[in-house]
Amino acid sequence: MLEKLKDLGILSPRKAEDYKKAWYKFSRNPLSVAGLVIVIVVVALAILAPYVTPYPHHAEYYVDFANANQPPSLAHPFGTDQFGRDVLTRIIFGFRYSLMMAATVLAIVTPPGVILGLIAGYYRDRWIDTVIMRIADIFVAVPPLVLALSICAVLEPNIFNAMMAVSLMWWPWYTRLVYSMASSLRMEPFVQAAEIIGASKIHIMFKEILPNCLGAILTKVTLDAAWVIILGSALSFVGLGAQPPTPDLGTMLSDGAKYMPTIWWITVFPAIAIAVIVLGFNLLGDGIRDIYAAEAR
Amino acid sequence: MRLITYIAKRVGYTVFVLLGLSILIFTLARVLPGDPARMALSPRAPEWAVEKLREQLRLNEPLPIQYIYWLRDVFSGSLGESLVTRRDVLTDITEFLPATLELLLFALIFDVIIAIPIGMLAGRKANTWIDNLVRGFAYIGVTIPAFVFAIIFLLIFGYILQIAPTVGRLSPGVMPPPRITGLITIDSLITGNFSTFVDALSHLILPSFALALGPIAQEARITRASVVENLNKDYILASISHGIPERLIVLKYLMRPSLIPTVSILGLDIASLMGWAFLVESIFNWPGMSRYGIIAMLRKDLNAIVGVVMVTGLVFAIANIVVDVIVSLLDPRIRMVERAK
């Protein structure tokens, strides 16, 4: 199977032509393209939030009780919340926190997770494999959300600590993914050839094995972005993540839930917003997976 | 016999992992910045009260000593005193755990009895409108987190339609059955109290369904994929050419191999159910261990947090062993590999 992948040169695109081929395959599936568009739009809205939102000053402390709890109207397409703040504005600012959370956590977690997986996989059945993988097993012995909640619980509740808590428990998933790939790749002829000509261990791990894992890692990063966003909003929802008045989607949900069902728009629109970002990253991730996986069959 | 050695090995490894988990969570709870005793009391609490609590939690001892004390207490059947309820954490957990288990059990039942038929149907009718409908549903299930489903259900079924209760395990005024297993549905059936059973069931529906939707979507997708894969195999073609009726092929030959991936990812489903239970129980005021855990977390109740995490880890480990045993019973190849080792 691996042989075939290499012949097709698609396992990890390195040349311009490979990228073109990859894009062609990706663009054939309308769902993947839809995912990409959603992600681009959300990222653009988040970056340009102060310029595109109708009431940028509603993102932080702002009280206007005269206009509180207004149902959706032309002036406030998604209505206003219990303090009279524009829900649409706060959702777009909320994208910033969600994306920041995903980007930070994945940037912190991916490199060590991948490197540990490479080491454990390459040195399979040696003591270092045992140490790394057994520690990883301990971290995945409770459901991710439970570990994240309990780490957050002992920290001051704020968005930075929520990111740290999620990062602390997320690395083993990358270690496990890369471990399973690396431990089979190290038996491949090209790795053994490199060993015979005396390539260094570092070269073998990072130049021979790692490039062949990149597709799977990239897919996982994209799908995990959705996961981290859900997790972050769950932490804020419980009150262990971002705190009011931060316009975090999870915080908005829990604030709004108290006013259900009469003032439904405070809750329903942030919920839809979360679903939209998560859907975007999921579709994008499935599309990226297809680029790499379609040839594997 | 092989199965027993396999289970024994798994149990042994679980003990190791849980010990590791206890060290991890114990250390995190005490090493991370902030004074647990100060956090547990209010910021305005007098210093002597904080000092007393610190003494009581043995926070003044070095960390390894604290851990050894904790471990000793665990073996003598105590998880330490909860700062919120002022009872032993183990007493609290034994009181609240059955409610959580009941919720998880029903969510899992929903998961299996809904996901497998719709996944198999979508697989057999691949690329038809039925398949697309299931795929659309699966995307909704994957993208909307369980706590959002919980809020939506609360709104639609609880407030607008008012067809299902949304708070607790039983309606006010309904006497809980005598505690045998702690699972109200089962206890009420044992004692023959049918109206209590119906009441308990109606309380279970919304929260367990909110929990189950994500796993249902995931499982339906997996089942569909493996049905499609198996349908293209030669043995199915062979059975069709032998003139075996389609119903028989599906039930006897297609189902068993197709369900192997479905059952193997039940472990992941259980992780997701147990995690989201923390939020869903809070939303539905379900008096289970997870809601107790959330209260403990918000009140910085260290002993209770550690206890809840450990019990969650234990339940999760047992569930995973059960899932793996079922998979090995479904798939003789896995047993062969075990034997070959």
Contact (CB<8Å) B298/A142:
no
Which residue in this structure is represented by tokens 């505690």?
B179
- Asked whether the beta carbons of residue B148 and residue A141 sit closer than 8 angstroms, the reply is no
The answer to whether the Cβ–Cβ distance between A150 and B24 falls below 8 Å is: no
> Hey, what domains does chain A have and what are their CATH numbers?
2-59+75-296 (1.10.3720.10)
The verdict on a CB contact (< 8 Å) between B298 and A274 is: no
Query: Given pLDDT bands bounded at 50, 70 and 90, which one contains residue A14?
Result: low
Are residues B275 and A282, on separate chains, in Cβ contact within 8 Å?
Answer: no
Helices (H), A29-86: 30-47, 49-52
The structure tokens 């209760």 sit at B165
Lookup result for tokens 């192997």: B260
Cβ–Cβ below 8 Å for B309 and A278 = no
* Cα nearest neighbour of A137 on chain B: B17
pLDDT the model gives residue A222: 92
Chain B segment 252-281 residues within 8 A of A by beta carbon are 271-272, 274-276, 278-279
- Contact in structure between B290 and B277 (CB atoms under 8 Å): yes
Q: Which of B154, B274, B283 sits opposite A146 (nearest CB)?
A: B274
Of A137, A146, A274, the CB nearest to B312: A146
CB < 8 Å to A141, chain B: 17-18, 20-21, 313, 316-317
Partner A contacted by B143 (CB < 8 A): yes
CA dist B127 and B121 (Å) reads 11
Cross-chain CB nearest to B317 (options A141, A151, A264): A141
pLDDT of residue B338: 54
Residues in chain A: 297
Least confident range of A44-53, A66-75, A215-224 = A66-75
User: Is A150 within 8 Å of chain B by CB?
Assistant: yes
User: Rounded to 5 degrees, what are φ and ψ at B301?
Assistant: -85, 90
Interface probe, candidates B19, B23, B28, B206, chain A, greatest A C-beta count within 10 A:
B28
Chain A residue at shortest CA distance from B157 = A261
pLDDT tens-digit profile of A234-286?
Answer: 999 988 888 877 888 888 888 887 777 778 888 889 999 999 999 999 999 98
Task: Find residues 155-184 of chain B whose CB sits inside 8 Å of chain A.
Answer: 155, 159-160
3-class DSSP assignment, residue B81: strand
The interface predicted TM-score (ipTM) is 0.86
Tell me, what's the pLDDT at A15? Answer: 67
Give the model confidence (pLDDT) of A107-119 as tens digits: 999 999 999 999 9
**DSSP, residue by residue, A259-287:** TTTTTTHHHHHHHHHHHHHHHHHHHHHHH
Q: CA-nearest residue of chain A to B269?
A: A143
Query: Token digits for B231?
Result: 């349908």
Tell me whether residue B177 is exposed, middle or buried, using C-beta atoms within 10 angstroms of its C-beta: 0 to 12, 13 to 18, 19 or more.
Answer: buried
Task: Give the number of C-alpha atoms closer than 13 A to the C-alpha of residue B59, restricted to the C-beta side.
Answer: 21
Average pLDDT, 10 consecutive residues per value, chain B (341 residues):
81 92 87 70 77 78 86 87 84 92 94 92 89 90 89 84 83 80 84 85 92 93 90 88 87 85 88 92 92 89 90 93 87 62 42
Contacting A residues, span 161-190, partner chain B, CB-CB under 8 Å: 168
**Interatomic CA distance for residues A161 and A106, integer angstroms:** 15
Tell if the CB–CB gap between B144 and A149 is shorter than 8 Å.
no
